[in-house]
Structure 1
Amino acid sequence: MSAHFHALRVAQIVPETADANSIRFDIPPELRDAFRFKAGQHLTLKATIDGEDVRRNYSLCTSPDSGEWMVTVKRIGGGLFSNWVGDTLKAGDTLDVLPPHGSFTTDFAEGISRHVVGIAGGSGITPVMSLVRTLLKSEPGSRFTLLYGNRDSSSIIFLEELARLKDRYLDRFEVFHFLDGEEGDFELFNGMLNRERVDEAIEHLIGDPARIGDWFICGPGPMMDAAETALLDRGVERSRIHIERFTADRPTAALASQMAELQSKAAGIVMSVTLDGRTRKVPFSESNILDSAREAGLPAPFACKAGVCATCRAKVTAGKVEMAARYGLTDEEVAESYILTCQSVPDGDGVAVDYDA
């Protein structure tokens, strides 16, 4: 992944609900290769707000072959970036944007025939929407079922588009809305997607989980945890459960203590850090490898600094590293020695990491 931000023009601001807006970017021809993406991936946006460098990750909601790059931003209480987008950003403005990245995706092929299920809550629909659009168009033999939780009908992002897709792909796409603050005729759909309701939805709407090719889960933490444990308890292989987290849980006291001890031991250790084709010696002088690299003057990429987005991903090419959290990495990436540098501390001398790998 390129570590460089690009100044992109905002082509359009699209109101989705009262508190959610989509940003459509104008990608010039010379950047289209750099900004190619897979369904389910996200962009890192950067802006200076009240003198502060603010970075956030937002998922693309379009399909890769649509020729459009669009992310959706929902206001959150006290959210510096999300409220700035809703109040200030307008068409014609420019934003600094990193090329697409993320592992909340799958490979699509015309000859594949499978049943995919998405479980989304609130703005967690954004990457799932990209997956829905892509599967329905590129895999004529596949089906998609979406379980989507919201507060009420007025807060459903992409409500009309989901209805349009359902009408267009009657035998291949079904969507079920679960509303916490609005009552309908069927009790199953009245309430949030907690463990009990997820269990019921799987039993009555999905059937045998073993027949599902992939599960994609994105939304509030409790909803994702409930969905994940419901699937694992039914014997679904972890490799078929894809989860995209917005935020990270706080580390346990034991883990925090362990990492603090490692940080103390690592103070002063010199690491080799490769970025943009150059390798430099960097002393470990901060809480993690990312901060140490940036303190040494390297423009190492980052966004959330919470182990969620994988913007700061690098590969360990020598030595040993301990990582506190790894939400943004797949098991395969970890096995291939990739780390999140914002969560990583050298465990001994001889550590080398490569952001270009």
Structure 2
Amino acid sequence: MYIAGAMDKPKTSFHALTVAEIRRETRDAVSIRFDVPDALAPHFTFKAGQYLTLRAEIGGEDVRRNYSICAAPAEGALMVAVKAVAGGKFSTYANNVLQPGDRLEVMPASGRFTAPFGAERALSYAAFAAGSGITPILSILKTVLHSEPASRFKLFYANRQSGQIMFAEQLAALKNRYMDRLEIFHFLSMEEDDVALFNGRLDARKCAEIVGLLLDPADLDQVFICGPEGMMLGAEAALLAAGVPAETILLEFFLSAGPSTAQSESAAAVVQAAAGRRMGILLDGRKSTVVFDAALGNILDSVRAAGMPAPFACKGGVCATCRAKLVSGEVDMKVNYGLTADEVTQGYILTCQSAPRGDDVVISYDM
């Protein structure tokens, strides 16, 4: 398994971009296209499958969220899709308040849910998506079809109802245009199809059926999976059980499902034990001493409360924007979806998920 995260050190500078267009994709989702001035164009190049971090002040609060780019690089557009989530501050704002002409703070593209696409490749791709998980996969799918004329693609896409299928018209048009290289299979959990296989959610059992009936595991070169965590892990498990090599499977986590009660209690105990510990923080070439505040719960928020502009975006252990190098000491890291095993071995941590184990912790945001 290869989990999406930061390409190298994530780019952390925001730039104000004007919203050029907002398009209603479904009743609860919109796409947002940005106008990128020529002077900023070099900052906003991207690879298929990457995401943008958006920032807005909503109700006096600095709100930041990551949204995948739904356009392909060859299309010459910078566009994300935002699906409304119950209680979601940014998604509600984007769907109900944001208008063309408004300006948003946007961070350059990040993420490794991508591949080295190129005309010389002749590969067999597959993708599993559910709901808004189609967003980065649409960018990838369009890129493969446009730039790799000898490659083939199979998409397995789950939604509750047909009216909730994001980019339905685009997908249909792509299927018609590339009918010899693209196959799309829709799965609906709240509408019934005559074929039982296409009814229900993309859980582990359903994915195992798909692998047995619609995919040849030996023929797969690359698989992309994006959607709810349970769906992704189920699809991954089915593929691995069928013999698909782990290194060919890429997962993109939007948000984690959250820790269990036992995990939460354990993490709370770790945070309380770290209360008052002093940490050395290197940021923008300066070293400061920061006291860990257990009420804030992690190193990142303690650093920012001390007045230091430590970078962050999701605060869910996914995007790796808050990544820093552990120079000395030890920390406890609650959740990690954004760092690779190699990065952890090199001493990198997610400061939004970490608490110090002693008073000898020194971390650097500059490395």
TM-score, normalised with respect to structure 1: 0.92
The 1-side partners of 2:244 and 2:161 are apart by: 31
Residue identity in the other structure for 2:65: R
1:109 to 1:347, Cα distance in 2 relative to 1, 3 A: farther
1:175 to 1:2, Cα distance in 2 relative to 1, 3 A: same
User: Cα distance, 1:349 vs. partner?
Assistant: 4.2
- The correspondence of residues 130-149 of structure 1 with structure 2, limited to 5 A, is 130-149=139-158
Q: Does 1:162 align with 2:171?
A: yes
- Which residue of the partner structure matches residue 56 of structure 1? 65
The 1-side partners of 2:21 and 2:156 are apart by: 29
SS of corresponding position for 1:316? strand
- The correspondence of residues 263-278 of structure 1 with structure 2, limited to 5 A, is 263-278=271-286
Conservation of the 8 A alpha-carbon contact between 1:319 and 1:350: yes
Which residue of 75, 79, 82 maps to 2:88?
Answer: 79
Residue identity in the other structure for 1:323: M
User: Cα distance, 1:60 vs. partner?
Assistant: 0.5
Q: Does 1:240 align with 2:282?
A: no
The 2-side partners of 1:289 and 1:327 are apart by: 17
Q: Does 1:206 align with 2:215?
A: yes
The 2-side partners of 1:191 and 1:257 are apart by: 34
- Which residue of the partner structure matches residue 289 of structure 1? 299
User: Cα distance, 1:64 vs. partner?
Assistant: 2.2
The 1-side partners of 2:363 and 2:152 are apart by: 41
Conservation of the 8 A alpha-carbon contact between 2:220 and 2:244: no
Residue identity in the other structure for 2:73: P
1:259 to 1:270, Cα distance in 2 relative to 1, 3 A: same
Greater length-normalized contact order (CA 8 Å, ≥ 6 residues apart): 2
Residue identity in the other structure for 1:213: D
User: Cα distance, 1:351 vs. partner?
Assistant: 3.0
Residue identity in the other structure for 1:121: A
User: Cα distance, 1:253 vs. partner?
Assistant: 4.4
Q: CA RMSD in A?
A: 2.0
- The correspondence of residues 249-268 of structure 1 with structure 2, limited to 5 A, is 249-268=257-276
- Which runs of no fewer than 5 residues in structure 1 stay unpaired? none
SS of corresponding position for 1:164? helix
The 1-side partners of 2:167 and 2:121 are apart by: 27
Q: Does 1:215 align with 2:197?
A: no
Conservation of the 8 A alpha-carbon contact between 1:103 and 1:330: no
Conservation of the 8 A alpha-carbon contact between 1:103 and 1:328: no
- Which residue of the partner structure matches residue 318 of structure 2? 308
**Aligned-pair identity (%):** 52
- Which residue of the partner structure matches residue 233 of structure 2? 225
- Between Structure 1 and Structure 2, how many residues are aligned? 356
1:56 to 1:258, Cα distance in 2 relative to 1, 3 A: same
1:316 to 1:115, Cα distance in 2 relative to 1, 3 A: farther
Which residue of 10, 13, 31 maps to 1:22?
Answer: 31
- Which residue of the partner structure matches residue 7 of structure 2? none
Q: Deviations over 1:50-91 (max 9, x none)?
A: 222222111101122322110001112232221221211111
Q: Deviations over 1:194-238 (max 9, x none)?
A: 22221111111112x243122211112322222122123234333
1:86 to 1:256, Cα distance in 2 relative to 1, 3 A: closer
- Which runs of no fewer than 5 residues in structure 2 stay unpaired? 1-9
Conservation of the 8 A alpha-carbon contact between 2:293 and 2:302: yes
The 1-side partners of 2:245 and 2:327 are apart by: 30
Segments ≥4 residues shifted beyond 6 Å: none
1:281 to 1:113, Cα distance in 2 relative to 1, 3 A: farther
Residue identity in the other structure for 2:136: P
1:30 to 1:320, Cα distance in 2 relative to 1, 3 A: farther
